[in-house]
Amino acid sequence: MTYQNMVMPEAEIALQAAAAAATATQKPPVAPGGFLNISRKQFLEMGHSGSGGGGHSWVDSMRASSPTHINSTPSLSDDQSSWMVRHPSALDMFEEIITASKGKQIVMFLDYDGTLSPIVDDPDRAFMSDAMRATVRKLARYFPSAIVSGRCRDKVYSFVRLAELYYAGSHGMDIKGPSKGSKYKKGNQGVLFQPASEFLPMINEVYKALLNKTKYTPGATVENNKFCVSVHFRRVDEKKWSELAQQVKSVMKEYPQLRLTQGRKVLEIRPTIKWDKGKALEFLLESLGYANCADVFPVYIGDDRTDEDAFKVLRERGQGFGILVSKVPKETNASYSLQEPSEVMVFLRRLVQWKKMTLRRQFRLKRRLEELKMSFAI
C-alpha cells in the first residue's frame, strides 16, 4: 500500500474516496459489547419484522450488543477460562511480549473510549484522567504513538490534549500527524489524510436530520464525528429503543451511500468506503517510514468491534499484536487482553519503565566502552 503525498489535495482525496466506495459486507455475530455491521437492506427490513412492525428484531440486536445484557449469554461466562488461555492478560505475559519485540521498533496505537477513558453515560464527559494523560505523554516520548478513535479527531484531541501524538478520528477517516514535540515526525511536511471528504455534506445532512428526528426521545444523543454520525442510546429507556430504531431507519433510507454499525449502546452511520482502523494503521506505519519493514513491532490496544480491523491487519502482517480491552470473552483477532483502562495504564507504564531501563543500560555500556578505548589509547 502506497500513499505518496502526505498532505493530500482535496480533489485528489475525493477521487480516491470515490474509487474506494463499495457496499459494506456483513460481519459475523459478535459477543455482547462488540460491534455489529448491519447492511442498509437488513436494517430497513428489521423494522418490518416482529409483531406490529415495530422494529423488534433491531431492538433485539441492540440488546445483544448492550453490556447490560451480558448475563443473558451464560455460555460466554462458562467459557471464560478457555478464552483467557487463548487471549492471556498482557500484564501476565509482559516478558513474553518484550522478548518478541527485541531488536524492533515498537509503535503504539490506542483507541480512546473504553481504552484510555472509561465508558460513561454522557459521551461529552468521557474525560481522560490526569494520570492516564501523563502516562501517554511519557509513552510518546519513547515510542511513536497514535490515537485511533471513532470520535471526531478534534473531539478526541480535546480530551487527550497531547500535540506530540498522531490522531486518527472517525474510525481512521481523518488522520493528522503531530503538530509539535515528536521526534518521530518524518520531515517538515505534516500528515493529513481524509479519504471520505466527499461525504462531508451528506454526513452533515444526516446529523441535522437525526437531531430533528430524535429530539423528542429522552436521553438520545446525536454526535457529529465529522465523517460519521453516532446516535448514543446509553441514557434512553429500553422501552424507547424501538422508537429510536425507527427514527434512525427513517433517515437511513434516504442515504444508500451510507452504512450502519452498532456497538456499545451506540448506532453509527458511516460512508460505505473501504477504509477502517486497519487501513489507518497501515497508513500511519507508512507515514512513519515503516512500510514493508521487518524490524517494526506495532501494538494496538482497543475495546470495540471496529478495532478488530486493526487486530486482523496485525495478524495478517505477522507483526506485533493486538490487545483487546474487555471483561467478558469476545470473538477477537487480538492476541492478548486487558480488563479495563486502569490495566491499560499499568501496561503502558511498564512499557515505558522497560524502555527507560533499556536506554540506561545502553548508555552505561556505551560509556564503559568509551572508557576502555581511552585506557587502551593511553
**Digit-coded pLDDT (tens) for 224-264:** 999 999 999 999 999 999 999 999 999 999 999 999 888 77
Residue 105 pLDDT: 96
Residue 292 pLDDT: 85
- Does the active-site annotation cover 111? yes
Residue 31 pLDDT: 40
Ramachandran angles phi, psi of 334, nearest 5°: -70, 150
Any bridge partners for residue 148, and if so which? Answer: 168
The CA-atom distances, in angstroms, between 187 and each of 125, 175, 194 are 36, 17, 20
Q: Which of 78, 79, 111, 121 is catalytic?
A: 111
The more confident residue out of 229 and 74 is 229
pLDDT in tens, 320-366: 999 999 999 999 999 999 999 999 999 999 999 999 999 998 878 77
Contact between 55 and 242 under an 8 Å Cβ cutoff? The reply is yes
Contact between 27 and 262 under an 8 Å Cβ cutoff? The reply is no
Contact between 11 and 265 under an 8 Å Cβ cutoff? The reply is no
Average pLDDT, integer, range 73-99: 84
Residue 57 pLDDT: 63
| Residue 223 DSSP one-character state | E
Does 103 have pLDDT greater than 70? yes
Within 13 Å of residue 358, how many CA atoms lie on the same side as its CB? 12
